Amino acid sequence: MARIGMAAFGTIGHEVVSHWTLYGDTRTIGGMTLAQFLAVLDDALTKVRAVEALDTQATVARASRDTALKVLDRALVRYRDGVSSEAGRNSEQARTLPRIRPRRSSGGGGAAPTSPPGV
C-alpha cells in the first residue's frame, strides 16, 4: 500500500502537479510526462471516490437492513402474542409456534443473538 493516507493523495497529487509545472511541464521526470502523471492521478482519485461512494451506500444499506429487522422482530412478536391471545396460551396453536428467539442456555453461553444468522 502507499506510504500516505487516502485523504492526502489528492492534495499531494495536486501539489506535485503544481511543482512539476514550475519545474518544467514539458520535461519527462521519473520516466513519465506530466500528462502521464495526471492520468495516473485521475485514475487513482476516481477509484478512491468510487470506493467512498460504495462505503456510503453500504452504510445506508446496513441502517435500512437494521430498521427492517427491527420491524420484522416486532411483527413476529405481535404474531406470537396474537396467537397466544386468540387461541389461548396453553393451546396447541400456541405450543407449536416457531421459536422467535433462541433459548438462553443456563450454561452461561452469553446473550442470544439479536439478528438472524448471516445478517
Domain ranges of the chain: 9-95
Residue 90 DSSP label: T
What mean pLDDT do residues 22-45 have?
94
Question: CB-based contacts of 12: which residues, under 8 Å, 6+ apart?
Answer: 4
What mean pLDDT do residues 63-78 have?
97
C-alpha gyration radius of the chain: 29
What mean pLDDT do residues 42-61 have?
95
The model carries a pTM of: 0.62
Task: Report the pLDDT value the prediction gives residue 117, as an integer from 0 to 100.
Answer: 47
Assess whether pLDDT exceeds 70 at residue 28: yes
Q: How far apart are CA 41 and CA 9, in angstroms?
A: 9
Assess whether pLDDT exceeds 60 at residue 109: no
Average pLDDT taken over every residue of the chain: 87
